[in-house]
Structure 1
């Protein structure tokens, strides 16, 4: 008795397209044909196809099925490798489910790293963007410090004012706000070493990490906010000579304008 391609596929619980693909990749031998060109599959073809379908159901990639065929002396080794790969996949999917549960619980943006989901309501849109970038360019120690910093330090009145600061804020407001932010920034630098030397916590190249963050900050904040942040940093780090030069440059620019 012989079967057509359709009949063979039905017996094995697969499709004609799949059978043809198995021929193409060399997993299933081509059968003899009748004078009219119709294929005539025999019992060995059915057995082989059932083997292929079964292995595919177990998650074995087609590219590895041929390897399993050549592992007759120690087939357990190949199966053990597959089992380890599946275990890793299951663990990864379980972690994803746990992260999704946290995201749903706190109704936080899905793109935000799960560890920051409970803190999402404290993060402005620019903050969320920076957290995503930080999580890619800095190591786990730095991100742990960032998480603690956000969790343990409620948003101050000065920080809230900075978030809402318009690009055309007057000079006195910009100067005052920088001075008000400086003490908190100095305290944060003391408490969180990552802030003092970000490059030391880069996942890869320190210069690239700092350049990436610098570019992001430059595009996420308006000019008035950037001025305030720069002034606060100069004060917090005791760079008063540079602060004086910065203030003079701003005054000259405004006078020229």
Structure 2
């Protein structure tokens, strides 16, 4: 019993092109030819082809198949590496599904960095944009601090700051900075790690500085500068 190339391909559930490709790269040996010049494939070729197809379906690259055939140790190492990769992919997909579930319940979170929940519906458009900018500069532990901070009730001073007009007079700016100072000190007390975020060199990255300048108007930037001066005069207490 012998099969033609087409018959072998059909038996293995693949194509003529694939079988010929395996011949060219040396994965599948050429069979003997009949007197008429046609290839005569036997059971050993079918078994080899089915093995190749199974390994490919499992994710083994064609370039890695010869090494697997060289020794059982190589085969085990390749399969373990594939298993580890698959495990990581499954975990990643599970995280994506969990995030999608949150977004389906709260579509307003779509324009925020991943992980933000809680009272984020109260965030202004500017805060949302700034948090997204921060996510490109701060690392995960620092972003976790911001997520925790923004999950708490929103201080009324924040609303006044968000609506502060660009032409607010100096007295209004100074009053708001003085009203905001104890709020910030309290936030530092409730979130000890916030101090590390505040002094992080990441906040001086161009992407953050550009974000602040473009998202806040001159009056708001002035309030932040006044607030920083007040905090330097009476810095938050260390935990």
Q: Same fold (TM over 0.5)?
A: yes
* Residue in structure 1 matched with residue 216 of structure 2 by the alignment: 221
Query: What are structure 2's unaligned runs of at least 5 residues?
Result: 235-239
Aligned to 2:15: 15
Give the match for residue 88 of structure 1: 88
CA, structure 1 residues 188+199, in 2 after alignment: closer, same or farther (shift >3 Å)?
Answer: closer
Q: CA deviation at 1:32?
A: 6.9
Stretches of structure 1 that go unaligned for 5 or more consecutive residues are 201-205, 240-257
Contact 2:120-2:151 at 8 Å conserved across structures: no
The structure whose RCO (Cα within 8 Å, separation 6+) is larger is 2
Contact 1:108 1:117 in 2 (8 A): no
Instruction: Output one character per residue of 1:137-167: Cα deviation in whole Å (capped at 9) or x when no partner.
Output: 4344433322222122x22332112223343
> Which residue of structure 1 lines up, in the alignment, with residue 232 of structure 2?
237
Change (3 A) 1:109 1:8: farther
Change (3 A) 1:81 1:162: same
Q: Pairwise mapping of residues 176-191 of structure 1 onto structure 2 (< 5 A)?
A: 176-191=175-190
The answer to whether the 8 A contact 2:138-2:202 is kept is no
Q: Deviations over 1:84-133 (max 9, x none)?
A: 32222222222221222222222243463442133431323332333334
Query: Hey, what does 1:132 align to over in structure 2?
Result: 132
CA contact (8 A) 2:32 2:39 kept: yes
Evaluate the alpha carbon distance shift between residue 34 and residue 124 of structure 1 in structure 2; reply closer, same or farther with a 3 A threshold.
farther
Determine the structure 1 residue equivalent to 2:4: 3
Is residue 112–residue 132 contact of structure 2 (8 Å, CA) maintained in 1? yes
Count of aligned residue pairs for this structure pair = 231
Where do residues 110-125 of structure 1 align in structure 2 (5 Å cutoff)? Answer: 110=110, 112-125=112-125
Which has the larger displacement, 51-60 or 100-109? 100-109
Gap change, CA 1:187 and 1:72, over 3 Å in 2: closer
8 Å contact kept, 2:9–2:16: yes
Q: Is 1:12–1:46's contact at 8 Å kept on the other side of the alignment? A: yes
Contact 2:67 2:74 in 1 (8 A): no
The answer (yes or no) to whether the contact 2:103–2:109 under 8 Å persists in 1 is yes
Which residue does the alignment assign to 2:191? 192
Change (3 A) 1:74 1:147: closer
Tell me the equivalent position of 2:155. 156
